Amino acid sequence: MNHYRELVNTDIQGKNVLLREDLNVPTDNNEIINDERIRAAIPTIQYILSQNAKLSIISHFGRPKSGAFDKKFSLKIVAERISKIINKEVYFEETPISEKSPDYKNDITLYENTRFLKGETTGDDNLAKKMAKNCDVFVMDAFGACHREHCSTFTVSKYSPVTCGGLLLMEEIKNLDKIFDKPKKPILAIIGGAKISTKLTVLRELINKVNAIIIGGGIANTFLLSSDFSVGNSLSEKSMIENAKEIIKLAAEKNVLLPLPKDVVCENQNQIYVKKVGDVNENDIIKDIGPKTSLKYKKLIEEAGTILWNGPVGMFEKSSFESGTKNIAVSVCKSKGLSIAGGGDTISAVQKFSNINEIDYVSTGGGAFLKFLEGQELPGIEIIKKL
Ligand code: ADP
Ligand code: MG
């Protein structure tokens, strides 16, 4: 890790610290429904406060229209939650950072949603200069947003005297590096989810790095189509059939095992059937992998030395179609191999079906986790690299 500038090796004693966190938690009716992301930021916050620094925190929250305030996307409820967790007053600044020069007069201030600011998502230089005003050290800790070249995740570092990585960001990097740095073999990737188009790059990349890829979910349907099976009315992407064929060919060339579902759970006019993939008819909708496929996947998970999981293998939100994903979650938790999972829906599935603590590492990133696996440079990590 010595090629990164880390917060723990940076002198912040009594200094003005600007901290970028990912506090983008899910809400319902302006209430936080899951505060995992806030809790993940607490160690960094506590550490900075323990150094008698003056702390200003910035984050995005949802996807508001830029340049306008929208109460639905206000971070005020997040300030209250942080305050409750650390048992200390968190001053909430309703004016987003930059419109008023940050003065670092409070011990801890949370500024309103950075995405209310014009120039945030375009990485505007002028906005970055204003954000960095009066700060001595910029701490990047928002792993979930580090694939974005936004003002508060990237450009701001140009104008802050020092930039370093917070505890959460460093923890993510250390754990994710383990996947490809002398991993225990066989390495197994489990890739599910709705659409192959969002996972295509990662699939191509993984073929060069893993020994087997289990495919499930909506993306398996396109693979089945490309192997001349009918998928009836299931979700699939016809424009991706050639890409799926190419992936199958590449996997064969590289000796990467790429099992497809042998049986599936379908819905047809409110009736639910388990069918062999060859028996799916034109009105069936495939919504989960079948029990035989689950057993086969379980065996591969048991044998794996390293497991990487992104994407549910069925529409697990409904109990009739949760079995496949539930079985995977349980097997991954029980496995002796190093297990790493990431992705918004994947984490929800793990939380729903198993004890999340039994997975070796759960990434807080969705898009950033995938980009990392794709082997791409992440702007929010580039800024903490030593020259
Ligand atoms: P993650 O957020 O973990 O990256 P994705 O967003 O890629 O995962 O995929 C999750 C979604 O995929 C879930 O909402 C799930 O219902 C859907 N899905 C899984 N299997 C199917 C299927 N056979 N047909 C349609 N949607 C599916
Ligand atoms: Mg998702």
pLDDT, residue 67, reads 87
Q: What angle do CA 352, 357, 358 make, to 5 degrees?
A: 90
Residue finishing a domain among 139, 169, 199: 169
Instruction: Verify whether ligand 1 is closer than 6 Å to residue 367 (CB atom).
Output: no
| 177 CB-near residues (< 8 Å, 6+ apart) | none
Q: Tell me whether residue 133 is in a domain.
A: yes
Nearest Cα neighbor of 344 from 217, 187, 193, 222 is: 193
Rounded Cα–Cα distance for residues 265 and 283 (Å): 13
Contact of 37 with 60, CB cutoff 8 Å = no
Instruction: Verify whether ligand 1 is closer than 6 Å to residue 348 (CB atom).
Output: no
Whether residue 200 sits in one domain with residue 72:
no
Whether residue 205 sits in one domain with residue 279:
yes
pLDDT, residue 344, reads 85
Index of the ligand 1 atom closest to the CA of residue 366: 4
How many CA atoms, within 13 angstroms, populate the side-chain half-sphere of residue 31?
A: 3
pLDDT, residue 166, reads 98
Ligand nearest to C-alpha 349 = 1
pLDDT, residue 1, reads 66
**What is the CA(315)–ligand 1 centre distance, in A?**
6
pLDDT, residue 298, reads 97
Residue finishing a domain among 169, 193, 212: 169
Mutate to test the pocket of ligand 1, among 147, 215, 235 (most ligand atoms within 8 A of CB): 235
Q: Tell me whether residue 130 is in a domain.
A: yes
Contact of 221 with 234, CB cutoff 8 Å = yes
Whether residue 131 sits in one domain with residue 75:
yes
**What is the CA(312)–ligand 1 centre distance, in A?**
6
- Among protein residues, the one with the nearest Cα to ligand 1's atom 14 is 315
pLDDT, residue 163, reads 98
The residue behind tokens 């340049």 is 67
Rounded Cα–Cα distance for residues 173 and 178 (Å): 9
Distances 292 to 138, 266, 277, 280, 315 between C-alpha atoms, Å:
52, 14, 11, 16, 18
Bridge-partner residues for 301, per DSSP? none
Whether residue 73 sits in one domain with residue 38:
yes
Whether residue 314 sits in one domain with residue 215:
yes
Q: Tell me whether residue 290 is in a domain.
A: yes
Whether residue 151 sits in one domain with residue 198:
no
Please report, for the domain that includes residue 329, its CATH number.
Answer: 3.40.50.1260
pLDDT, residue 182, reads 87
Rounded Cα–Cα distance for residues 380 and 387 (Å): 15
Whether residue 123 sits in one domain with residue 89:
yes
Contact of 213 with 207, CB cutoff 8 Å = yes
Q: Tell me whether residue 2 is in a domain.
A: no
- In the chain, what is the straight-line distance between the N-terminal and C-terminal CA atoms, in Å? 14
Contact of 216 with 261, CB cutoff 8 Å = yes
Q: Tell me whether residue 1 is in a domain.
A: no
Whether residue 160 sits in one domain with residue 194:
no
Work out the number of other CB atoms within 10 angstroms of the CB of residue 221. 29
Q: Tell me whether residue 245 is in a domain.
A: yes
Whether residue 252 sits in one domain with residue 155:
no
Index of the ligand 1 atom closest to the CA of residue 193: 9
Beta strand 187-191 with 306-310 is parallel
Residue finishing a domain among 107, 139, 169: 169
Q: Which domain holds residue 132?
A: 7-169
Q: Tell me whether residue 336 is in a domain.
A: yes
Q: Provide the number of structural domains found in the chain.
A: 2
Whether residue 237 sits in one domain with residue 125:
no
Contact of 118 with 67, CB cutoff 8 Å = yes
Bridge-partner residues for 269, per DSSP? none
Whether residue 298 sits in one domain with residue 219:
yes
Ligand nearest to C-alpha 198 = 1
Q: Tell me whether residue 382 is in a domain.
A: no
Whether residue 316 sits in one domain with residue 359:
yes
Spell out the per-residue pLDDT of the chain, length 387, in tens: 679 999 999 999 999 999 999 999 989 888 998 898 999 999 999 999 999 999 999 999 999 998 889 999 999 999 999 999 999 999 999 988 987 789 999 999 999 999 999 999 999 999 999 999 999 999 999 999 999 999 999 999 999 999 999 999 999 999 998 888 889 999 999 999 999 999 999 999 999 999 999 999 999 999 999 999 999 999 999 999 999 999 999 999 999 999 999 999 999 999 999 999 999 999 999 999 999 999 999 999 999 999 999 999 999 999 999 999 999 999 999 999 999 999 889 988 999 999 889 999 999 888 899 899 888 899 999 999 987
For the whole model, what pTM was predicted?
Answer: 0.88
